[in-house]
Amino acid sequence: MKIDRYVSPTELILKNQIIMNDIRQKNHELFEKTDKTNKFMIITYGCQMNEHDSEKLIGMLKLMGYERTEVKEDADLIIFNTCCVRENAELRVYGNLGHLKSLKEKNPNLKIAVCGCMMQQAQVVEEIKKKYRHVDLIFGTHNTHNFPSLLSKAFGTKNTVVEVWDNEGEIIEGLPLERKFGLKAYVNIMYGCNNFCTYCIVPYTRGRERSRKTEDIINEIEGLVNDGIKDVTLLGQNVNSYGKTLENKISFSDLLREVNKIEGIERIKFMTSHPKDISKELIDTMAECEHVCEHLHLPIQAGSNRLLKAMNRNYTVEKYMEMINYAKERIKGLSISTDFIIGFPGETDEDIEDTIKLIKEVRYDSAFTYIYSKRQGTPAYTYENQIDEKLKHVRFEKVLDELNKIIIEKNANRKGEILEVLVEEKSKSEDKLLTGRSRMNNGVHFEGSDELIGKFVLVKITNPKKFSLVGELVEVLDK
Ligand code: SAM
Ligand code: SF4
Ligand code: F3S
């Protein structure tokens, strides 16, 4: 799985553009003859990085004349963009791939592609080649830009086409994109991770840390704002180390200040900030930039210094609390979220007590709590002091209870508050209501007409629910 030869980004883009035109032409001819448009279905697992990669694949497929469908029986091409951060994410992919075998038997023209983080693991690729022979195409996270060429190869053979690069290569700019939402957009500012937390597979699936050039990021956001996007989330595994791989060194705070100057942008968010690299300068920047939202996602993982050391997180609870307290002091109305891992090897009841103490001190507004999952290839996979599954679940429930108590209490205290909400869509959970997000990332539901979708409104919270807020429309804002 080595890169055969150096191919320059320009050469690659040109080659793929020619192939995209070719497939588009074929799809057009098919439509002329049969009135039928080829359809694709894409299923995305995992984090925003994968969501964003799927947006790139969708952009390319649309340029190739494909139409999107959510019905697998209607699809001519099905793509699984996979995640392997925890075992259950992988098991779901294997399960769903298995189910497609009978569909492929009924429709031999159906092409099945699997991509994303799981494919960066050699043992997974071998397993799919051996046990899921109905898969036509396998490609890795560093091969997204070459998708048209790989798809075209898959059309010409009955064998499984495989392309998984071990190395990240250069950042490829200028791929077409189809954004999931018309109002909000994810913008990658960097790729990969150098941190090697002992439990985490991401550095092995996404390669080493590399930053996009500032001018490429700014150009992309300016283009998005021109297209009506009002809310951008800057993405990276550790945004605080943005700029370190660039010739012209620039900090993440400087980048935020540049993005904040873009005319027409309303909301700027970012994730993820690593506690070992977060600086007071960044917090000051958040406080000073009017468009940067009052929300900080700062994953702690565990409230015990002993566990943080074993996880190779390179910060202490004391350093974390210093930053949290500074941020609360500097940013009015700040909401704070985090990630926890429960059941890391060697975890004791005392460690859980430390985590609960931290939860009570920070008073999180939301949190993602995960049960530790052994990942082959990571250091913690080989640790002998693994925790019993049942005990992991008991501890998980205990931590979740503490978190929920605080989150519910904080939501209840919002009764009577007036929040600025960007209206996103009709609510899926609350019948007949619209739904949107506040600057602090609260999900807010309220009654209003569909014309409000895409607008900023003020909503008075009248009925706080456990994990969301329901209110009444006060005013439609002119922005
Ligand atoms: N780069 C981010 C950071 O350092 O905070 C996190 C990215 S990771 C995709 C998202 C979350 O998944 C992590 O914060 C961690 O809580 C969780 N995670 C990663 N590996 C895990 C594992 N082996 N088992 C359980 N949870 C895991
Ligand atoms: Fe994984 Fe740690 Fe990198 Fe986050 S910082 S992606 S948890 S290795
Ligand atoms: Fe994201 Fe999962 Fe990959 S969390 S980076 S899609 S392993």
Ligand 1 centroid–CA 200 distance in Å is 6
Q: CB neighbours (10 Å) of residue 25?
A: 12
Of residues 200, 194, 255, 264, the one with CA closest to residue 228? 264
Ligand 2 centroid–CA 195 distance in Å is 6
Question: Packing angle between helix 349-362 and helix 317-330, nearest 10 degrees?
Answer: 10
Query: What does the alpha-carbon distance between residue 399 and residue 422 come to, in Å, rounded to a whole number?
Result: 32
What is the predicted pLDDT for the residue at 297?
98
Would the annotation count 83 as a binding residue?
yes
Which amino acid type is present at position 170? Answer: E
Residue ID of nearest Cα to ligand 1 atom 20: 200
Of residues 222, 296, 294, the one with CA closest to residue 261? 222
Residues 396-416 have pLDDT tens digits of: 999 999 999 999 999 999 999
- DSSP character at residue 250: -
What is the predicted pLDDT for the residue at 7?
55
The atom number, within ligand 2, closest to the CA of 201 reads: 1
Instruction: Name all residues whose Cβ lies below 6 A of ligand 3.
Output: 46-47, 49-50, 83-85, 117, 201-202, 205-206
**Mutation probe of ligand 1 site: the residue of 370, 375, 381, 382 with most atoms within 8 A of C-beta:** 370
Query: What does the alpha-carbon distance between residue 441 and residue 15 come to, in Å, rounded to a whole number?
Result: 42
Residues 146-177 have pLDDT tens digits of: 999 999 999 999 999 999 987 776 667 777 77
Which residue segments constitute the domains of the chain, with CATH numbers given? 9-163 (3.40.50.12160), 184-412 (3.80.30.20), 418-476 (2.40.50.140)
Instruction: Name all residues whose Cβ lies below 6 A of ligand 1.
Output: 47, 85-86, 199-200, 202, 237-238, 272, 274, 299, 301, 339, 341, 370, 372-373, 375
N- to C-terminal Cα separation, the chain? 50
The atom number, within ligand 1, closest to the CA of 373 reads: 24
Would the annotation count 200 as a binding residue?
yes
CA 230 to each of CA 182, 212, 267, 454: distance values in angstroms, whole numbers, following the listed order: 9, 21, 6, 9
Residue 94 phi, psi (nearest 5): -60, -45
The atom number, within ligand 1, closest to the CA of 340 reads: 16
pLDDT band at 16 (very low <50, low <70, confident <90, very high): confident
- The mean of the pLDDT values for the chain is 93
Ligand 3 centroid–CA 25 distance in Å is 34
Residues 71-116 have pLDDT tens digits of: 999 999 999 999 999 999 999 999 999 999 999 999 989 999 999 9
Query: What does the alpha-carbon distance between residue 258 and residue 215 come to, in Å, rounded to a whole number?
Result: 10
What is the predicted pLDDT for the residue at 1?
36
Query: What does the alpha-carbon distance between residue 407 and residue 360 come to, in Å, rounded to a whole number?
Result: 11
Q: Is the CB of 459 under 6 A from ligand 2?
A: no
Query: What does the alpha-carbon distance between residue 30 and residue 450 come to, in Å, rounded to a whole number?
Result: 37
Would the annotation count 193 as a binding residue?
yes
* Whether residue 343 has pLDDT greater than 80: yes
The atom number, within ligand 2, closest to the CA of 272 reads: 4
Question: Packing angle between helix 252-260 and helix 214-226, nearest 10 degrees?
Answer: 30
On whether the CB atoms of residues 331 and 285 are closer than 8 A, the answer is no
What is the predicted pLDDT for the residue at 4?
40
The atom number, within ligand 2, closest to the CA of 274 reads: 5
Residue ID of nearest Cα to ligand 1 atom 12: 85
Residue ID of nearest Cα to ligand 3 atom 1: 47
